[in-house]
Structure 1
Amino acid sequence: MDKERQFVSQYPQLGDLDKVGIVERRRIFGEVEATIPQRQLPSDVNDSTVSVKEFTIRGRDGYDIPVRGYIPAASAPEAGRPLLIYLHAGGFLFGDLESGDLNCRVLATRLNISILNVGYRLAPEWLFPHGVNDSYDATEWAAANAGEALNCSPTAGFLVGGISAGANFAGVIAYTARDAGLSPPITGLWISIPVCIMPQAYDLVPQWKDQLLSLEQNAENPLLTRKSLTDIQDLYGSPPGDVRISFLLNENHKNLPVRAYFQICGRDPLRDEAFLWQKLLEKHSGTKYKIHLYSGLPHGFWRFLQLKASQEWLDDVVEGIGFLSAPQDADTSSEIGLKVKGL
C-alpha cells in the first residue's frame, strides 16, 4: 500500500466526494476536520507581535470588499517593510478572512512583512469574475495605499499569493498587473497547489499534452479529483478558455514577477500545471524560483496534522515567502531550486 492509500484509508468518507454535491462535500470535509487536531497559533505569535485591523476596500462595482490587515510590532527594516496580498483557498466557493488568519499572523510576525488578507466574493452566489476582480481591486488599492494604511513599502517587496483558488487568482493578477502597468510592480508570487488551466481548456494547448499528465494520473485522488474540478468549473461559471481563470493560455509570459515560490503536491491532479508554469516563468521572465514538492501527498494534505509534512508545512511557507521578501540585491542563489518533502 503506497503513502497515498495509507493516508486515504484513515478517512473513508473522502472516497465518496465524487458521488455527492458541493454542499454535501463541504459537510464531509467538516466532519473529517472535526476529528483531527487543529493547527494552533505558535507561542512566538500573539497580540503583542502583530496588530490586526479589519476594514473594507471599494471594488470596481461599488461592492465593499472585506479585508484584514496585519502589521508587525517590530520596527520596519531600513529599506522598508514588504507587503503580501493573501488570497485564501476554497475552490472559488468557500473560505473567508478567518481561513488564513493564523497563517497571516505567523508570516507577519516571523518575516516582518505587512499582509492584506482579502475576503473576495464567492460562487455560486457571486459568479465569475467577481472573486478575481475583488482580488485584483484589493491589490490595486494596496499599490497606492498600503504604504500608509499598513506601514509598509511595496517598493521594497510587493508579493501576491495564495492557496489553490487563491493561487489561481495570484496567477491571474500577475498578468493583469503587468498589462495594466501597475506601479509599483509585483515582485514575488506565492503559488500553492494552483489551478493554472481548467481541464476543459486542455484541448486548447495540444503542444503541452505530454507535460500535463497529472490530471489523468491523479484523477481519482482524495481531496481533489478530476470530477471535482469539473463541478467547481460549473459552479464558478467561468468560460474554461478565459485567461482570467486558465492563465496558462496567455500568449505572452514575459515581464512577470522576478521571484516565485511554488508548493506542489505529487498526487494532485494540478501538479503538472504548476511545473509547467514555473518553466514558462523561468524561460520568458527569468523568474528565480523555489519549489517545495510534497511527494506522494494529495491536494491540501496539510490540514491533517498527524502527518510529518503537515506539521512542517507552515514553516515551509515561512521559508518560501522569506525567499520572496528578501531584498532584491540579496544573494538568494542557495535557496533556488526544488526541495522534495514527504510524509
Structure 2
Amino acid sequence: MSSNGYLSKESILALGDKDPEYAEWQKANPEDDEMDWSNIEIARAAVDEWSREQCNLLPDQGILMNIPMRDGYQSSLRIFRPTFSESCPIPSPPSPVIVLIHGGAFCCGDNSNFAAQAVALRALYSATVVLTSYRLVPEHPFPVGQQDIWDSLEWLAKNAESALGADMNAGFIVGGVSSGGNAAATIGQMWVDEYANEDHSPQNSSRPKLTGIWLSVPFLFSSRDHVPKEYQELFWSREQFKGDSTSGEIPAAVVKMQQWDTRSRWYSPINSPNPEPHKILAKHGLRVHFQAAGRCFARDDSLIYERILSQNGVETKLDIYPGRVQQCPHAHFAGIEISESRRCNLEMFKGFAWLLRKSAPSEEQIVSTVRRVAPSIII
C-alpha cells in the first residue's frame, strides 16, 4: 500500500507553503524576468545555454551516436559507458542501462541536459547511462517527439549489448523530469503493455524487461476531468498555482503549440488501452520512484498517480519536497542552494539504487562520489 498520506485538500494545499529557507534564497537572488515563451527561439536559446554550460563543465561529455527513427530521421543519443576503472561502491559488470529523457515542455532542450547526473550515476552504479533526444514542437507535432523516444528504446533493445557493451537484463530504468517524466511514465506503460503481449521464450525474446521508472515532477493529467473520478478531489495544484510563474506552470503559448491529443496513449499512462494497465505494471514487477515538489503545478499528478499505482500493487517510492520550486531542470538539479535541494539530489541518487535493486551506497559515499565526478550538482 502507498505511504502517501496526503488524503485531504488541506494537507495537499499545505505542501505549497513557501519554504522559509527558499524565501530567503529568493530575496538574495532576485529572479530574472519571466521567459517569453511566445518567442520559442529565445526560450530555446536560454534553456540550451544553461544545459550546455553544465555539460561543458564535465571532462567527459559522453559519446554522441546517431540512430535511425521510423521515418529515417537520425536522432542523437549521448552515451556514458562505464570505464570500470573508477572506485565504485557497486561491483562492476554486467552494466545496467539507465535512459534519461530531458524536460523542456517538448519544445526545447536537448541531450546535453542530465550529463552531470549521468556521470554520477555511472560512477555510483557502473551503469551505462543514455541521454535521449527527440524532435521538438511546434516544428514536429505531437506525437513525433514521443515516437522518437520510443524508437530510441527499441534501438537500444536490439543494440545495447553489441554497440554499447551493456546488459539491459541487468537492469533497465527509464526516467525524466517534467515533460521528460511525462514521456517516461507514458512510454514506460506502453513498453510493459507491449512486453506482456510478446513471447518471451529464450528463442524468441527480444524485448528486455523494464525494471524501473524514475518520475521527477511529471505532468500526467490534462485537467481535473482527465483524473479518474475517485481521485479528482485530490487534484488541486493546477488551481492553487494558476498564474504563478515560479510554480512552473506551462505557459499558454507552450500549450497552444503542442496540439496534444490528451486522450492518446502517447499523452499519458492513464490512456493505456490495456484493460488493467496498473495491475499489469505490478505483475511485471516494476518499481516507480516519484519526486514531487510542493510548489509545483504538477505536484498532484505525482500524488494521485503514485496512489493509483500503489493501490494496484505496484512498488512505489514517493519523495516530496514541501515549499520547493523544482519544476524545471535548472531549479531541480542546480541553482538553489538550500537544504531541500541537497536532500532532493541525494534521494534521487539513492532512489536509483532502489530502482536497480541494489544496496544503496552510504550517504557519505554518494556525496563524495558526486562531488568528485560532477561537482556542479548541489548535494
Same fold per TM (> 0.5)? yes
For the 8 Å contact 1:164–1:192, the answer to whether it is kept is yes
Structure 2 counterpart of 1:334: none
1:23-82 superposed Cα distances (whole Å, 9 cap, x missing partner): 48738966x979xxx86999xx854xxx83211111111111110111111179577221
Counterpart residue identity of residue 11, structure 1: P
Q: Does 1:231 align with 2:253?
A: yes
For the 8 Å contact 2:80–2:119, the answer to whether it is kept is yes
| TM-score, with length taken from structure 2 | 0.73
Structure 2 counterpart of 1:281: 309
Q: Using a 3 Å threshold, how does the CA distance of structure 1 residues 311 and 105 change in structure 2: closer, same or farther?
A: same
For the 8 Å contact 1:91–1:232, the answer to whether it is kept is yes
Structure 2 counterpart of 1:272: 300
- SS of corresponding position for 2:215: strand
Q: Using a 3 Å threshold, how does the CA distance of structure 1 residues 41 and 57 change in structure 2: closer, same or farther?
A: closer
Distance in 2 (CA, whole Å) between partners of 1:28 and 1:185 is 37
1:101-121 superposed Cα distances (whole Å, 9 cap, x missing partner): 111111111221111111111
Structure 2 counterpart of 1:125: 139
Q: Using a 3 Å threshold, how does the CA distance of structure 1 residues 6 and 40 change in structure 2: closer, same or farther?
A: farther
* Greater mean deviation of Cα atoms: 154-163 or 67-76: 67-76
Q: Using a 3 Å threshold, how does the CA distance of structure 1 residues 28 and 135 change in structure 2: closer, same or farther?
A: closer
Distance in 2 (CA, whole Å) between partners of 1:306 and 1:79 is 35
Give the CA deviation at 1:194. Answer: 0.3
Structure 2: stretches of 5+ with no match in the other structure = 1-16, 199-206, 361-379
Q: Does 1:195 align with 2:219?
A: yes
Structure 2 counterpart of 1:91: 105
Select which of 43, 53, 72 maps to 1:26: 43
For the 8 Å contact 2:82–2:126, the answer to whether it is kept is yes
Distance in 2 (CA, whole Å) between partners of 1:159 and 1:8 is 35
Select which of 153, 158, 163 maps to 2:172: 158
Q: Using a 3 Å threshold, how does the CA distance of structure 1 residues 143 and 20 change in structure 2: closer, same or farther?
A: closer
For the 8 Å contact 2:38–2:254, the answer to whether it is kept is no
| TM-score, with length taken from structure 1 | 0.80
Matched-pair identity in %: 24
For the 8 Å contact 1:188–1:325, the answer to whether it is kept is yes
Structure 1 counterpart of 2:317: 290
* Greater mean deviation of Cα atoms: 96-105 or 159-168: 96-105
Q: Using a 3 Å threshold, how does the CA distance of structure 1 residues 25 and 40 change in structure 2: closer, same or farther?
A: closer
Give the CA deviation at 1:12. Answer: 4.5
Aligned length: 318
Q: Using a 3 Å threshold, how does the CA distance of structure 1 residues 161 and 225 change in structure 2: closer, same or farther?
A: closer
Distance in 2 (CA, whole Å) between partners of 1:293 and 1:287 is 18
Distance in 1 (CA, whole Å) between partners of 2:106 and 2:123 is 28
Q: Does 1:169 align with 2:186?
A: no
Q: Using a 3 Å threshold, how does the CA distance of structure 1 residues 84 and 12 change in structure 2: closer, same or farther?
A: closer
For the 8 Å contact 1:267–1:297, the answer to whether it is kept is yes
Distance in 1 (CA, whole Å) between partners of 2:54 and 2:116 is 8
Distance in 1 (CA, whole Å) between partners of 2:228 and 2:39 is 29
1:104-158 superposed Cα distances (whole Å, 9 cap, x missing partner): 1111112211111111111111111111101111111112211222222111111
Give the CA deviation at 1:273. Answer: 0.7
Q: Which has the higher contact order (CA 8 A, sep 6+)?
A: 2
For the 8 Å contact 2:100–2:174, the answer to whether it is kept is yes
Distance in 2 (CA, whole Å) between partners of 1:206 and 1:88 is 31
Structure 1: stretches of 5+ with no match in the other structure = 332-343
